[in-house]
Structures are given as structure tokens and as C-alpha cells.
Amino acid sequence: MKKVSLLLTFFLLLLTAVTTLADSNVDSTVYPPPVEPAVEQTVEPAVDQPSGVKVVMRLSWRLVPGAVKYKVAFNDEVHTTYINGIELEVNSVSTVFHVVALDFGGRIIDSDVDVTQVETNPTAPKTTTEFDKMDYGPLYPVYSWVPTHGADYYQIQLFKDGELAREYEAYNTDKDKAYDYYDEYPVNRGGDYYWRVRAMSNYGFAMSEWSEQTDNVSFKVSSPNRVCALGDSITHGGGAVTVPPSMTMYNWETYCHIPVKNLGKSGDTTDVIVERFENDVLPFEPKVLLIMAGVNDFRGTIFGWQSATNYKALIDKCAYYGITPVFLTPTPINAGLIRKSRFIEQPPYDWQTHYQFLCDWIRKQPYHIDLTAAFEDENGELRADLTSDGLHPDEEGKEIIGRAVEEWLKNNEQLWN
């Protein structure tokens, strides 16, 4: 019995030693369970953070009008993000953060942005889409989220009526971390939709759980929609260079109190819009179709008369299906600001000739909305105070469009109601 007792004692001592040695070799970068701090600029932890253990903190703040990027400073570090949120690795949950909003030129437009939410060691990406604030579900959804710390790429899934409908992968670029994905395929079939995202490693394993199914990622597609809008990125939405159409601040439909189904698709020229008419317009059976395009024509290689020819084709299609087309004059561009942006193709020297030709043609149509007076400066270019990049109108410009559309629809209610 004494031998058994001695052997048992020796075994327990050996087990204790092995356990202690294993504990001493734990990687100091392993993240502890979530600790929920108070939502303040200076965050005091509920418990002491173990020394040497890194913490990932996710900060969120309100979207600042006109902000193209944000600088987030803490201790001696400064980080940049292009969306109203960031994940950072810190040594303590009591770290003090300072968020500054900058415009396209790097000028400060808000020197002390309030952090509205702080999360410790989040387990899933935070989505930033605002589909719940839109009158109708988007035809070409843009999925957006706060980038996950350390992620190499993201998996995105779209569900229809509870079943997986499509799946994508979004990869980080050299310039910044991926935070949105533009769906190239229309969501034109009726049903209840939602999307989700998770962070992935280059080794193929998940670095996070899937994002939650909440109201902001859900939308419904149904028909008929009495008023629809067909166009390019200015119809699609987004602004201040980096804010995607998934957020409502830079979408002109936001400022029109009569619901409008958005059929815009970023990058389209008028000939592409004609091609997708049957697939993207007819499923929604509109009575009135608002059409605003052409900017990608005259800033490229499509002449004004060619744009008008494409618009005539749309008139014929609308007449065949009993739809009333309403043309909006395209917004002009600001060539000087485009040259400064460096990421937008430079327009031809005679872009104004083709822009004016198309505007003159639109003014001759029985149903049209003339926006030129509100957007042109003394040189006939896009007013600099309405745009960050010289191409896309920002918040005030989108509001001008939305109010003008609302007024026209009110004055012509017999066509759509």
C-alpha cells in the first residue's frame, strides 16, 4: 500500500509540474474572453487586464458628412480608416482614443468625433449596411462592414427566404482593408433577403463567426413598384469618395419622401442601361421610370448624340410596356477636382460639348427634370462645394436631386398613383 501511495503522490506532483510548465508557455497574444467596457472615449475595464495580454477593441462612431477618412489616435499610434469604425489591438481596455474626421484634401472637418460604441474582442464583424432605412430593397446590393483586425479576406453570403442564394469573397487591397463589396448581379426576384459576412485567413480557416442577422442587413423584394429610378452610380448612391451606397446619407432617394425603387448600377453607361432594361426594370412593373445617366458617357468616349440615341431606345421600350420615362439632366463634372483625385479617369477636353448636347436633348422631352441650374458653377462645371472627387455629388447634391424628384412626382401624381 505504501508503494501505491508513493507512486500516486509522485504522479500528482509530475502532473502539477507539467501543467505549470504548459501555462508558462501560453502565447501572450491569445485574446481573453470579451470584457464589456462602458461606451466612452476613455474606457475603464470592469476587471484588471492581465499584463502582457493583447486586446482587440472595436470602435464605432457616427458618419460625419463630407468625411472621406478618419484618423484614430491612441498612445503614440495613429491609424486610418475609411469607414465609421475600426478594430485595433491594444495593451489595455482603458486606452484613450481620439477620432478626427478628414475631407478628401486631408483637412479636418471634425476634430473630436464622439465614439458611440466600444466592444472588446468582438467575435464577428459589425455590418454597416442600412437596408432597414431604405423604402425598397436594393437591386444591386452593396455589402459593407467594419474591417476585422488581422483578416486576410472575407466570405459574404446572401440568403433568400432562408436559403443560400449566392456567395462571394472580398480580398484586402494594398491601400486599405476591405470594407465593402459591390454585388454585380441584380436581386430581382421577390422574397425576403439578408446577408452576412465573416473574416477569413489566407490559410482557409475562419477568423470570426458569421455576422448577425439583424434589421440593417435584411430587405424585402416585391412588385409592383410604381416609381423606379434607372441610372449609374449617381442613382445607385454613395459619396464622399469612400461611403458606399449601402449607407443612406449619400443616396438621393433618402431625401425624396415619395418611395422610389433604386435600379442604379455604378459604372454604367447609357448603352449598358439599355441592355439591362428587360432584366432590371420589367420585374418591378413601374408606372414611371426616372432615368438619370450619361455622365460616364461624356467623361469617356461616348458622344452626346450616341447617348441621345440610347435614350431614344429607352423611350421605345417604355412605350411598348406602358411606362412613362422621365429624364433627369445628368450632373456635370469638375475636371480640376478629377485631376486632383488621381483615381478617376481624366475626362476628354470636349466633355462639355457632349454634356450640353445631352442636356439640350432632355429639355425637349415631354417629361423631364432640369437640374443644371442647381449644379453648374459659372464655368458650367460641377460646383466644387457639392463634390469631393469632382464626379459624384455628396450629401447636399443628393438632397437637391431628391427634393427635385419629389416635387416633380407631386406635381405629376396622375402618372404614377
Same domain, 207 and 232: no
For residues 206 and 199, give the distance between their C-alpha atoms in angstroms, rounded to a whole number.
Answer: 6
User: Is beta strand 153-160 parallel, antiparallel or unpaired with respect to 191-200?
Assistant: antiparallel
User: In the chain, what percentage of residues exceed pLDDT 90?
Assistant: 81
For range 347-364, the mean pLDDT: 96
Q: What is the pLDDT of residue 199?
A: 96
User: In the chain, what percentage of residues exceed pLDDT 70?
Assistant: 87
Q: What is the pLDDT of residue 330?
A: 97
**Domain range for 251:** 223-417
Same domain, 272 and 413: yes
Residue at a domain's end among 57, 88, 122: 122
Q: Can you give the CATH number for the domain in which 416 is found?
A: 3.40.50.1110
For helices 351-363 and 304-320, angle between their N-to-C axes, nearest 10 degrees: 30
Q: Answer whether residue 14 is part of any domain.
A: no
Q: Please say if the pLDDT value at position 97 is more than 60.
A: yes
What does pTM read for this prediction?
A: 0.86
For range 111-140, the mean pLDDT: 96
Residue at a domain's end among 122, 138, 169: 122
Same domain, 232 and 373: yes
Distances (CA, A) of 15 to 27, 94, 119, 207, 252: 21, 37, 38, 33, 68
Q: Answer whether residue 412 is part of any domain.
A: yes
More confident residue, 106 or 43: 106
Burial of 352 (0-12, 13-18, 19+ CB in 10 A): middle
Q: Answer whether residue 42 is part of any domain.
A: yes
Residue with cell 433627369: 328
Total number of domains in the chain: 3
Residue at a domain's end among 90, 122, 154: 122
For range 352-367, the mean pLDDT: 97
Helix (H) or strand (E) holding 61: strand 55-61
DSSP string for 32-60: PSP----SSSB---SSPPPTT--EEEEEE
Q: Where are the alpha helices (DSSP H) in 139-220?
A: none
Q: Binning pLDDT at 50, 70 and 90, where does residue 51 land?
A: low
For residues 204 and 17, give the distance between their C-alpha atoms in angstroms, rounded to a whole number.
Answer: 36
Q: Binning pLDDT at 50, 70 and 90, where does residue 176 land?
A: low
- pLDDT tens digits, 140-167: 999 999 999 999 999 999 999 999 999 9
For range 404-410, the mean pLDDT: 98
Q: Binning pLDDT at 50, 70 and 90, where does residue 290 land?
A: very high
Same domain, 162 and 291: no
Same domain, 146 and 276: no
Q: Where are the alpha helices (DSSP H) in 240-329?
A: 270-275, 277-280, 295-298, 304-320
Q: What is the pLDDT of residue 76?
A: 86
Mean pLDDT of the chain: 88
Contacts of 362 (CB under 8 A, 6+ apart): 311, 327, 328, 329, 368, 370
Residue with cell 452626346: 304
CA-based end-to-end distance of the chain = 96
Q: What is the pLDDT of residue 95?
A: 85
Q: What is the pLDDT of residue 351?
A: 96
Which of these, 292, 306, 209, lies nearest to 251 by C-alpha position? Answer: 292
Q: Please say if the pLDDT value at position 29 is more than 60.
A: no
Least confident of 31-40, 277-286, 333-342: 31-40
Q: Please say if the pLDDT value at position 18 is more than 70.
A: no
Q: What is the pLDDT of residue 6?
A: 36
Q: Answer whether residue 11 is part of any domain.
A: no
Q: Answer whether residue 18 is part of any domain.
A: no
Same domain, 182 and 91: no
Same domain, 275 and 319: yes
Phi first, then psi, for residue 76 (nearest 5°) are -110, 15
Contacts of 407 (CB under 8 A, 6+ apart): none
For range 388-398, the mean pLDDT: 96
Same domain, 34 and 66: yes
Assess contact for 235 and 245: CB atoms under 8 A. no
Phi first, then psi, for residue 74 (nearest 5°) are -155, 140
Same domain, 209 and 257: no
Q: What is the pLDDT of residue 52?
A: 56
Q: What is the pLDDT of residue 28?
A: 31
Which of these, 381, 401, 398, 400, lies nearest to 390 by C-alpha position? Answer: 381
* Strand boundaries in 66-222, DSSP class E: 69-74, 77-81, 85-90, 98-102, 108-110, 115-120, 142-144, 153-160, 163-171, 180-182, 191-200, 218-221
Q: What is the pLDDT of residue 8?
A: 36
Q: What is the pLDDT of residue 75?
A: 85
Same domain, 180 and 296: no
Same domain, 215 and 227: no
Q: What is the pLDDT of residue 185?
A: 97
- pLDDT tens digits, 221-245: 999 999 999 999 999 999 999 999 9
Same domain, 166 and 297: no
Q: Answer whether residue 417 is part of any domain.
A: yes
Q: Answer whether residue 144 is part of any domain.
A: yes
* Strand boundaries in 222-365, DSSP class E: 227-231, 261-262, 288-292, 324-328
Q: Answer whether residue 402 is part of any domain.
A: yes
- pLDDT tens digits, 186-231: 999 999 999 999 999 999 899 999 999 999 999 999 999 999 999 9
